[in-house]
Amino acid sequence: MSTPGLMDKIVSLCKRRGFVFQASEVYGGFESTWDYGPLGVEMKRRIADAWWHDVVIAREDVVGLDSAILQSPRVWEVSGHVAGFNDPLVDCKECKGRFRADKLDETPCPLKPSRTVGKGGACALTEARQFNLMFKTHVGPVEDTAATTYLRPETAQGIFTNFLNVQQTMRKKLPFGIGQIGKSFRNEIVTGNFLYRTREFEQMEMEYFCAPEEAPRWFEHWVEERYRWYVKLGLRPEKLRKRPHAKDELAHYAAACVDLEYEFPWGWGELEGIANRTDYDLRKHSEASGKKLAHYDEETKAWTTPYVVEPAAGLSRCVLTFLVDAYREETVDNGEERVVLKLHPRIAPIALGVFPLVKRDGMPEIAREIVAKCLDRFPVFYDESGAVGRRYRRQDEIGTPFCATVDGQTLQDRTVTLRDRDSMKQERVGIDALPETVERGVRGR
Ligand code: GAP
């Protein structure tokens, strides 16, 4: 499958089947922002739930938080974002384009796309200047500097400023983590590749606080854990790699960082970064606020400013990655073509399609009864229109792992056929056992 072909197909499938729409579409769209439709929001929630379950709920040493998007501007001054959260920007006087100076050799020239920016012949680039990525906004009715703050560019700082609140209320001892899922905003110079790089996006971040000497061990632990998580949720391991950062690439706060990268149609790109952030953030916020953001050990009677190991993933980027990885075009036994999203059942937006073979003989009534039995367990979709083969294809295309069909035999013995999306094999299952069977499949196979 050629590179632009695959992305075009995914964008078109997302629109046609209600995963993702262009934001403000009725006004011609708005600056690579996207709205999640019924299937997209369900898939995104299911990925977030899988993360929340595996990283927060299923671990005794991690608790959750939901901090505000708007924080005191002091947070961003002290964290270093006001002074240092910049990308280098160049303008081209010829094409009027704006580009990231550090990515010119991977950016096609708008006037001569076979060449990169700066090599297009007529390119007239300005000197690079630093551009701060935070969105400035004003709080309250007066637009003066005293009221200026920023939309958060990462969820992490809300965790650092709440370190003591969480540690004391939950009586946590080192090591422990605080996880958070939420929106972040960056005024990216260049957006693109659909959901990959946008100005408004969601993150799933966890800050794991530990004794300084234990940070390297926890860093290794979280790199492995997070890699395994993606594989467990179905990403093909040959498309996933760990890329350690070179020393000169590390963020100002980090002692070490490994990116988990996925091989997208346009090349390898970051899906998640795992960093050893040292004690940088807690120390800075302690110094600036006068509050001792540290851990007191009752036994040793000693204070420690913990080190932090941070697995930081992009939720919106995960939606795109799982879609890209799951998309297949197959020729099936009868020679027909099918498009299928081989999404892991845990993150598929619909778990079960339910069909009456025909719209008579009481079959729709039984199918409706099955839907009612399943509704409060997992997402289920009823469809009685068209040939049953076409109904299977429609569910394949949106990644539904199971389809149950009520047929003539159901009227005799209250069994239905249960079809597996990937193998397309069908087995007969009793109606009473069906919800549990599907639920087991959705929990993970
Ligand atoms: N707290 C650390 C932090 O924010 P990051 O590497 O800048 O680290 C973490 O961001 C993850 O957030 C990235 O790996 C990526 O998945 C996602 N992300 C960052 N910028 C993004 C953008 N403009 N659009 C979509 N996702 C983004």
Atom of ligand 1 nearest to the CA of 203: 12
Classify residue 71 as exposed, middle or buried by CB count within 10 Å of its CB (0-12, 13-18, 19+).
Answer: middle
The answer on pLDDT for 145 being more than 80 is no
Classify residue 423 as exposed, middle or buried by CB count within 10 Å of its CB (0-12, 13-18, 19+).
Answer: exposed
Using DSSP bridges, classify how beta strands 307-314 and 267-278 pair: parallel, antiparallel or unpaired: antiparallel
Residue pair 144/166 in contact by the 8 Å Cβ criterion: no
Strand ranges for 393-433 from DSSP E: 402-406, 415-420, 426-430
Give the model confidence (pLDDT) of 376-388 as tens digits: 999 999 999 999 9
Residue pair 99/89 in contact by the 8 Å Cβ criterion: yes
Query: Hey, what are 205's tokens?
Result: 């971040």
- Going by alpha carbons, the residue nearest to atom 14 of ligand 1 is 272
* Residue 21: half-sphere exposure toward Cβ, Cα within 13 Å: 15
- 95 vs 93: CA distance, rounded Å: 6
Query: Hey, what are 15's tokens?
Result: 């629109």
Give the model confidence (pLDDT) of 251-293 as tens digits: 888 999 999 999 999 999 999 999 999 999 999 999 999 999 9
Calculate the average pLDDT of the chain: 95
- Going by alpha carbons, the residue nearest to atom 7 of ligand 1 is 154
If you average pLDDT over residues 341-365, what whole number do you get?
A: 98
What pLDDT is stored for residue 426 in this prediction? 97
Test site for ligand 1: of 201, 202, 208, 260, most ligand atoms within 8 A of the Cβ: 201
Distance 59 CA to ligand 1 centre (A): 24
- Going by alpha carbons, the residue nearest to atom 21 of ligand 1 is 197
- 132 vs 84: CA distance, rounded Å: 8
Distance 119 CA to ligand 1 centre (A): 29
The answer on pLDDT for 170 being more than 50 is yes
Least confident of 104-113, 147-156, 202-211, 360-369: 104-113
Q: Name the strand (E) or helix (H) holding 79.
A: helix 73-79
- Going by alpha carbons, the residue nearest to atom 8 of ligand 1 is 312
Q: Is 44 in the pocket of ligand 1 (CB under 6 A)?
A: no
What pLDDT is stored for residue 2 in this prediction? 44
CB count, 10 Å around CB of 13? 18
Distance 335 CA to ligand 1 centre (A): 43
Atom of ligand 1 nearest to the CA of 260: 14
Distance 133 CA to ligand 1 centre (A): 12
At residue 171 the predicted structure's pLDDT band, cuts being 50, 70 and 90, is: very high
Test site for ligand 1: of 85, 270, 271, 310, most ligand atoms within 8 A of the Cβ: 270
What is this structure's pTM?
Answer: 0.96
